[in-house]
């Protein structure tokens, strides 16, 4: 393990906006507005300091006050079952919005924790919401984000209840690739910021299963694994294995 964070824990943005200067949000905010309105928005945003690996942004049950956008680094969100084991509900990369599940609720339904050194932008929800009342464009973008979250979770439900272990891992890697590509990183060569344990937890599998499948995929020349470094050797085949490929209807009638 890189750092030993254990209990730095729970950062709270303490008016650390230097010299009343608005925060630069270059290239990572999901809410894009024309200059004048963008100014208003930026005035309510607070930038976090660099948060060490293992820091909580918030805990499940904390009062819901803000949503967050990742600037750099990675977050996971998770719920805790009654037996105390965690269930990871999502990983969040730069540009992605965290804590939407708290909207309309008085408390956060999940915890959010950094997987590596991470910085975020905090959007205090009440000001954000009233801005959304003045700026239709912003309102639209917020509900769009929420809609996307809903759709992503539906995909995840499908994965968890219908896919085999192989399909889950393939889907995971494929979707990571797509997300990295969208953010301008390589689609085929990247570093997993989460542990095998976290991957398996997220996918509803045992660690051992993920391990075995990584090696199997490597033997099949699908990927190249070297610790946390992943190279995808064939995105096409990976996609095929993921089970998301829509096979042409012809295929099922092909009887001759």
Partner DNA sequence: GACATGAAATGACCTCGGTGAATTGAATAA
Partner DNA sequence: TTATTCAATTCACCGAGGTCATTTCATGTC
Edge-first strand listing for the sheet containing 46-47: 46-47, 119-124, 66-72, 97-98
Asked if 133 is part of the footprint of a second copy (rule: CB under 8 A), the reply reads yes
170: contact with DNA by CB under 7 A: no
Do 62 and 109 form a contact (C-beta atoms < 8 A)? no
Residue 109 interacting with a second copy (CB under 8 A): yes
**Is 189 among the residues that bind a second copy (CB under 8 A)?**
no
- Using the rule CB under 8 A, which residue among 158, 178, 189, 206 binds a second copy? 158
What sections of 94-247 are H helices per DSSP?
125-134, 136-162, 165-182, 196-203, 207-219, 235-242
Q: How far apart are CA 27 and CA 5, in angstroms?
A: 29
Whichever of 159 and 223 has its CB closer to a second copy, that residue is: 159
Q: Is 212 in the site for DNA (CB under 7 A)?
A: yes
Question: Is residue 164 part of the contact set for DNA (CB under 7 A)?
Answer: yes
| Using rule CB under 7 A, residue 233 touches DNA | no
Choose from DNA, a second copy, none: what does 214 bind? Cβ within 5-8 Å by kind: DNA
Structure tokens at 47: 């930038």
Task: With CA atoms as reference, report the closest residue to 114 among 36, 10, 32.
Answer: 10
Q: Is 178 in the site for a second copy (CB under 8 A)?
A: no
- Output the CA–CA distances (angstroms, integers) from residue 242 to 85, 236, 239, in the order listed: 27, 10, 5
**Cα first-last separation, the chain:** 57
140 binds a second copy (CB under 8 A): yes
CB of 52 to DNA, least distance (A): 13
We find the least distance from the C-beta atom of residue 62 to DNA, in angstroms, to be 25
**Contact positions toward a second copy, by CB under 8 A?**
79, 81-85, 87, 89, 100-105, 109-110, 129-130, 132-133, 136, 139-140, 142-151, 153-158, 160-162, 201, 203-204, 243-247, 252
């Amino acid at each position: 393990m890189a750092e030993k964070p254990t209990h730095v824990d729970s950062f709270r943005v303490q008016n650390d906006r230097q010299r009343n200067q608005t925060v630069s949000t270059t290239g990572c905010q999901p809410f894009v507005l024309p200059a004048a309105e963008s100014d208003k928005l930026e005035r309510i945003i607070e930038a976090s300091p660099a948060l060490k690996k293992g820091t909580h942004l918030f805990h499940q049950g904390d009062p819901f006050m803000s949503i967050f956008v990742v600037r750099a680094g990675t977050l996971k969100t998770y719920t805790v079952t009654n037996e105390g084991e965690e269930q990871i509900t999502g990983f969040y990369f730069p540009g992605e919005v965290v804590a939407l599940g708290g909207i309309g609720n008085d408390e956060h339904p999940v915890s959010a924790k950094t997987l590596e050194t991470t910085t975020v932008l905090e959007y205090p929800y009440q000001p954000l919401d009233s801005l959304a009342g003045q700026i239709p464009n912003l309102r639209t973008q917020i509900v769009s984000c929420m809609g996307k979250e809903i759709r992503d979770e539906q995909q995840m439900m499908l994965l968890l209840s219908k896919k085999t272990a192989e399909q889950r891992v393939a889907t995971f890697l494929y979707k990571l690739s797509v997300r990295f590509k969208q953010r301008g990183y390589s689609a085929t060569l990247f570093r997993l910021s989460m542990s095998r344990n976290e991957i398996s937890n997220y996918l509803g599998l045992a660690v051992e299963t993920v391990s075995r499948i990584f090696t199997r995929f490597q033997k099949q020349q699908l990927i190249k694994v070297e610790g946390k470094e992943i190279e995808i050797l064939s995105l096409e085949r990976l996609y095929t294995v993921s089970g998301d490929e829509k096979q042409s209807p012809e295929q099922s009638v092909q009887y001759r």
